[in-house]
Amino acid sequence: MANQFDYLSKREVFSPDAEAIVDITSGKRYTYSDFNRRANQVANFLQQDTGFGKGDRLCIIAHNSLEYWESFFGCQKCGGIFSPLNWRLVALELAGLIKDLSPTALLYDKEMLSVVAQLKEDVAVEHWISLDREGTELEGSMSYEEVIDGAASTPPEAVRLSYEDPMGIMYTGGTTGLPKGALITYRHVAFNTLNTIRDILPNDIYINHLPLFHVGGLYVYAIPLFILGGKVIQMKRWDVDTLVELINKEKPDFFFAVPTQYRMLMNHPAFESIDFSTVRFLTSGGEPLPLELIKTYREVHGVKFKQGFGMTEVGPGCFALDPWDAERKIGSIGTPNFFIDAKVVEPETGKECGTNEVGELLFKGPTVTKGYWNRPELNRTLLDEDGWFRTGDMVRFDDEGYYFVVDRVKDMFISGGENVYPREIENVLEGHPKVAQVQVIGVPDPKWGEVGRAIVLLTPGEEASEEEILEYCRGKLAKFKIPKSVRFIDSFDSYISGAGKILKRQLREAFGEE
């Protein structure tokens, strides 16, 4: 008998012949029966050939694919913890995460071949599995296709699980820039699905281009839709031309993108002729959605936007702004989802704030993470004595209960939908022999929303160019984290507070709007 959290086995009983997933890269279309049998093969291989069991970690560094989803559900059937890693990271960054996880097996695709070759020298993983035959040229690697095709498609040995067991680990940055692995439990997933029913229906068709190493790609809509019996159209990665083709061909009910991507779609030559007739709503998140985009999509296609706010540790969907409020409440993140409690407090005193008073956002409820992987000290302070999770976000709410973000988590900024933590970049740049001190801020960018700008104080007597500073980051940071510009400064003295801290707010005022 399968475990009670074996979603695909249960869904096969209810809708065996319904299409579950369409993989655009391979052209394969799986029914729920097809999908479940393939996941069973992954689970049987893991259990019988690698000794994989409850609580073991399965890592994957790959672009979106059918195999990505097969391995996710195969891992789940074994009671394992699925741990996707960001393929945009460099080998040095990935090695630290892999050492933190100590996975039993690591899957990768051919695009990650050179990175994996470096990783094999630095990290100890027993089983390396290539999703493409090209990757098996690395010594000690196995072919996913060969090992999975050779495994039984019957149900694997059942594993006893509870709602408090972790289903996944999703890495998220922090104000220190050090990634933390947030535990995603079965309780988390169940209540997120209930929250998501606010938007989705059992037979919905959803186009998913978001990277599956993000909660947005893996957990927000896709898994709830699989649980409800809908269909996911899976893209390998974001591509505006492909999206246009899929909207016309697959007739989706909704999809998600960040404002930068919606602007690219709006500027596409075929925008006015796209068939949006089946689309109930579009979802936007990651950063504020400009009124211009909302009006253009409404006027040209009669399509409305749903907006939201989420975080890896909570939800991941926390707030929603319904389509009928998109223009009336422009700039708002909406109201809390059904099974989430939110409040705003003064950061220092903890006193609850009133209407339009700015304070720190706190969450409480069944979708709050139970903790971070391998962070016992941090987990002891994860919640206050009343069970509230502190986000670090400064917000306010109006007299109708609609929330507005006033400032982001500490100094974080968002570039093309990716969270960027300045401290992580500063740690790298401080290793440059000519850099005495550095601060990184987010500055407006017409394409990405925001990009990094490094404010650099050079060591006395040294000279350096902007290109030299930026070149130093390459290979040490993912491309989206590398600043796009550098400004040199003679002293930070004018930007230091009475407590001796550099005031980034003043740096943004001085250098952010150039």
> Binning pLDDT at 50, 70 and 90, where does residue 499 land?
very low
Strands of the sheet with 359-364, listed across from one edge: 341-345, 359-364, 389-397, 403-407
Q: Which CATH class is domain 27-161?
A: alpha beta
Task: Report CA-CA distances (Å) from 483 to 346, 441, 458.
Answer: 33, 9, 17
> Binning pLDDT at 50, 70 and 90, where does residue 514 land?
low
pLDDT over 90 at 133, yes or no: no
Task: Report CA-CA distances (Å) from 92 to 67, 95, 118, 343, 494.
Answer: 25, 5, 9, 39, 36
pLDDT over 80 at 296, yes or no: yes
User: Residue 264 CB: number of other CB atoms within 10 A?
Assistant: 16
Mean pLDDT across the chain, nearest whole number?
92
Q: How is the chain split into domains, by residue range? A: 27-161, 205-407, 420-511
Contact call for residues 260 and 289 (beta carbons, < 8 A): no
pLDDT of amino acid 410? 67
263, 269, 277: which is closest to 205 by C-alpha? 277
275, 145, 168, 269: which is closest to 218 by C-alpha? 168
- What gap in Å lies between CA 14 and CA 8, rounded to an integer? 10
In 138-221, alpha helices (H): 144-149, 186-196, 215
Strand extents, DSSP E, 428-488? 435-445, 449-458, 485-488
Q: Which CATH class is domain 205-407?
A: alpha beta
Looking up tokens 């699925």, which residue turns up?
82
Q: Name the DSSP letter for residue 70.
A: H
Task: Report CA-CA distances (Å) from 248 to 251, 278, 297, 299, 304.
Answer: 6, 10, 16, 19, 18
- What gap in Å lies between CA 59 and CA 85, rounded to an integer? 7
- What gap in Å lies between CA 440 and CA 423, rounded to an integer? 7
CATH superfamily name and code, 420-511: ANL, C-terminal domain (3.30.300.30)
> Please, which residues have CB within 8 angstroms of residue 229's CB and are 6 or more apart in sequence?
11, 14, 15, 18, 32, 202, 203
pLDDT of amino acid 456? 96
pLDDT over 50 at 481, yes or no: yes
Contact call for residues 246 and 22 (beta carbons, < 8 A): no
For 508, the token pair is 């943004």
**Mean pLDDT score, 179-204:** 94
Least confident of 16-20, 150-154, 218-222, 410-414: 410-414
3-class secondary structure, 479: helix
- DSSP string covering 95-143: HHHHHHH--SEEEE-GGGHHHHHHHHHH---SEEEESSGGGGGSTTEEE
pLDDT of amino acid 497? 55
The pLDDT tens digits of the residues spanning 66-111 come to 999 999 999 999 999 999 999 989 999 999 999 999 999 999 999 9
- What gap in Å lies between CA 61 and CA 82, rounded to an integer? 11
Domains 27-161 and 205-407 belong to one CATH topology: yes
pLDDT of amino acid 135? 65
Three-class secondary structure assignment of 350-398: CCECCCCCCEEEEEECCCECCCECCCHHHHHCCECCCCCEEEEEEEEEC
Contact call for residues 495 and 502 (beta carbons, < 8 A): yes
Q: Name the DSSP letter for residue 227.
A: H
Q: What residues does 203 pair with on adjacent strands? A: none
pLDDT of amino acid 408? 63
pLDDT of amino acid 397? 97
Least confident of 85-94, 153-162, 456-465, 502-511: 502-511
Amino acid at 508: R
Q: Of all residues in the chain, what percent carry a pLDDT higher than 70?
A: 96
**Mean pLDDT score, 14-27:** 97
Contact call for residues 315 and 193 (beta carbons, < 8 A): no
For 193, the token pair is 């699905």
**Mean pLDDT score, 250-260:** 93
> Binning pLDDT at 50, 70 and 90, where does residue 487 land?
very high
Contact call for residues 223 and 189 (beta carbons, < 8 A): yes
**Mean pLDDT score, 209-235:** 96
- Better pLDDT: 414 or 50: 50
pLDDT of amino acid 407? 64
The pLDDT tens digits of the residues spanning 387-430 come to 999 998 888 999 999 999 876 656 778 898 887 878 789 889 98
For 78, list phi and psi in degrees, rounded to 5.
-90, -5
